[in-house]
Copies of this chain bind each other. A is one copy, B any other.
C-alpha cells in the first residue's frame, strides 16, 4: 500500500500535520469510505470495570488524523469516562500500523471559513484541556510515529511509552510547515522537556527518533514494538496503587497554572489562530505542504 510504503521510506514521517484525505491521494476508496462514514467510530473504547482502566484505540485510517469529528468523538468519550468514578486510568493507543497519530487534520484548516477554523480550534483546545487536566491516570502507548498534534496528544498524558523503532519519530514540527505551535503546546512541552530543549525543538520543528526523544525526556520509556501496550498496562497498575485523591490534587497542582492560562484566554486564542491560519500566505504554505505529501506518495 502506498501509504505504508511512504511511511517506510521515512519520507512521510517528517510530516507535520496529517491530511485525512490521504486515502484519496493514494486512490484508496477504503479511506474515502471511512472518512465519510461518520457512524463508524473513529475511536474504540474498551473499559474494564474490574480494573477501572479504559483503553482508547484510535482507529481512524490511515493515520488517525485529528479532525473535527475525531476530536469531538474523543472529547465525548473522555467526558463519559471522567464522569464514571470507577474509571481511574486511561491508556491511549493506536490501531493503525506505524502511526500513533499524525496530528491535526490539515483539511480542517485549508480552504475553510473562519467559522469552521474557529470551531475546529475550539475542539482542539477542548481535547487538550480535558486530557492535560484529567483526573484519571493517563498513559500514551505510542505505537508509531507521532508528529505535531499527535505529539501534543501524548504530551498531555502522565506517562509516555514509545515503540523502540528508529523509523518512528515524535515532535512538535509545526514550523516545518510554516505554522506555529500555540503557547499552550509550547508550555506543555516546556513542562516536559524544559525551556531550552523546547526553544530549539519548536524553532526547528524537530522530529526525534525514539532514542533521542527518550534522552531529552519527550518520552519516558522505550520498549520493543510488540510490548508497548503490555508495558502500558503494567505501568498503569503501578500508578493506580497511589492513593487517588492525593495523586489528583498533586497533578492539579503541577498542571493547573498552565491550564488556567488557556482557560482564561480561550476566546483570544481562537481569534489568534483563525486570523493566522486564514492568511493567504499560510494557506499557501498548507497547500504546498499537501502537494509535497502527494508527490511523495506518487
Check A29 for interface membership: any CB of B closer than 8 A.
Answer: no
Say whether A254 contacts B202, CB under 8 Å. Answer: yes
With A250-B180, A253-B180 in contact, do A175 and B242 touch (Cβ < 8 Å)? yes
Q: CB within 8 Å of B: which of A156-204? A: 158-159, 174-181, 183, 186, 190-196, 198-200, 202-204
Say whether B199 contacts A191, CB under 8 Å. Answer: yes
Smallest CB separation, A258 vs chain B (Å): 10
Contact with B along A15-42 (1 / 0, CB 8 A): 0000000000000000000000000000
Q: Chain B residue with minimal CB distance to A186?
A: B253
Say whether A175 contacts B254, CB under 8 Å. Answer: no
Say whether B190 contacts A195, CB under 8 Å. Answer: yes
Smallest CB separation, A160 vs chain B (Å): 11
Check A217 for interface membership: any CB of B closer than 8 A.
Answer: yes
- State the CA gap A242–B204 with chains docked (Å): 6
Check A110 for interface membership: any CB of B closer than 8 A.
Answer: no
Residue positions of A touching B, CB distance < 8 A: 158-159, 174-181, 183, 186, 190-196, 198-200, 202-205, 217, 220, 238-239, 242-243, 245-247, 249-251, 253-255, 281, 285
